[in-house]
Amino acid sequence: MALPNLVLIGTFTYWPLINNIYYSTLDWTLGSASATVVGLQNYVTFFTSEDASKVLGTTAIFTLVTVGGSMVLGLLVALALNSKVRGTTFARSAVFAPYVLSGVGVGLVWLFIFDPGYGVLAWVLRGLGQQSPQWINDPQLSLVMVIIVYVWKNLGYCAVVYLAGLQSLPRDVMEAAALDGANNVRRFFNISMPLLSPTTFFLLITTMLSSLQAFDLIRIMTPLGNGTSTLIYKAYLQAFGAYNRAGYSAAISVILFAILLIITVLQLRFVERKVHYS
């Protein structure tokens, strides 16, 4: 019964992974009929290049800020949506909607907003007598721009998951704490947050894996990777940009896979210890 699924997983997941590891040992120009085996030279080239620290640093900053921002804002939004007031159903749909939208479409819309020449934000700032920041041309501002859009797009996912966790909290425990004199803030930090730890752990893993593999928004909003060249985008530029270095790109992809694997194992090994399963 499991054989068809195992065949599909092996064919479309593990076989490409093995092939990619093999390609990473080649000096291969994309489209060329021949390649030269170079062993670990592609990895040595990456880690000794001037771009290595910049790419790894950009990846770390992008991942940490987007994961933290999405989870914190998602939790705050979930707390607001958990209130029994009119219009919460519409608000929940509106918050979650950006998550299911195409990353390409979202990137194009926000690029129109941030464009320093004809963007909506530039028009508003000019009306206030201010100059628009060079969001696209400044590498540091480009990273900030992409982070803002990525958090906006994905916080709805965190909000919905946190909302489900909040609605599953045992009411009798919360009522008992209220009778004992615990205010809302104390109940949240001493009761709700520990009981939400499985939800937080789940979101930590899924959002971190998603952020490390973020591609579409970066590709649309900063095609040249100016200040936003994360590992996955660096691999794309090396293979399909002006370089056509397929072997080098495969090596960067393997490095990203190793980072994803290490982070997941560390989370399962150490972070899960602090999770309180009811």
pLDDT in tens, 190-209: 888 888 889 999 999 999 99
Residue 278's pLDDT is 61
Tell me the C-alpha distance between 182 and 199, whole Å.
23
Name residues of the chain where pLDDT drops below 70. 276-278
Helix/strand/coil for 115: coil
pTM for this entry: 0.90
* Angle value at C-alpha 205, between 89 and 78, nearest 5 degrees: 20
Q: What is the pLDDT of residue 270?
A: 80
pLDDT score, position 241:
81
Question: Which token pair is 274?
Answer: 């602090």
- pLDDT at residue number 147: 95
d(CA 270, CA 266): 6
Measured between alpha carbons, how far is residue 268 from residues 103, 139, 245, 255, 271 in Å?
29, 35, 35, 20, 6
| CA torsion angle 9 15 16 21 (round to 10) | 140
